[in-house]
Structure 1
Amino acid sequence: MPHRERGMDEAALPAEYRQIFAVVRAADGPVMAKKVCAALKLGATPREVEPMRGKLARLAQRGWLRKTAGGRFTGTL
């Protein structure tokens, strides 16, 4: 997954990450990994939520999302 650079849009992301990014962007405010799992029709057990949290963190580390102090994620575009 590429680091976000000026002028890049979400089309640069792999398909799975575009879906995650779209869920976060469509939310009314910062979201938790569990809510993203629910929106993507995944389970709500740690087995599904923890990998999602990792993907959200990766998106945040690469500049696509922001992670709040409370561990929630929000879009930056």
Structure 2
Amino acid sequence: MSEQLAEERASAAPTPGHVGGRAVMLIPHRTPDTEETMPPPDCQRILAAVRQATGPVMARRVGDTLGIDVSVRSKLEPLRGKLVRLVDRGRLPKLPDGRFTTRL
């Protein structure tokens, strides 16, 4: 039984993939039994920044919390993309007004 559980956890672990010839880290979809440590470290930092906020936050506020220069659009857009990927994977909800919040 423990071998089967270990195999299931290994299959859910982040695996590197290739996009355009570059190695990228694939973010697994969230399942009820997925541990919070499963996403890559940068995604874990983003999730922690959203959790620290007192309410729903915009990407700019998350960038401020992470120490990213949000006045430069080219630095803010990759963060926004990661936030959207976390929403797509079921790790963060996104409100209709574009703000991100923790799982309700």
Shared fold (TM-score, shorter chain, > 0.5): yes
Letter in 2 for 1:65: L
For structure 2, list consecutive stretches of 5 or more residues without a partner in the other structure.
1-26
How much has 1:48 moved relative to structure 2? 1.3
For structure 1, list consecutive stretches of 5 or more residues without a partner in the other structure.
none
Q: TM-score, normalised by structure 1?
A: 0.93
Letter in 2 for 1:75: T
Structure-2 residue corresponding to 1:29: 55
Higher fraction of helix? 1
Q: Secondary structure at the match of 1:74?
A: coil
Partners of 2:99 and 2:63 in 1: CA distance: 13
Structure-1 residue corresponding to 2:85: 58
Matches within 5 A, 1:1-77: 1-44=27-70, 45-76=72-103
User: Which structure is richer in relative contact order (CA contacts within 8 A, separation 6 or more)?
Assistant: 1
Letter in 1 for 2:49: V
Q: TM-score, normalised by structure 2?
A: 0.70
Please provide the CA RMSD for this pair.
1.1
**Structure of higher CA gyration radius:** 2
Structure-1 residue corresponding to 2:11: none
Partners of 1:36 and 1:28 in 2: CA distance: 12
**Could you tell me the percent identity over the aligned residues?**
44
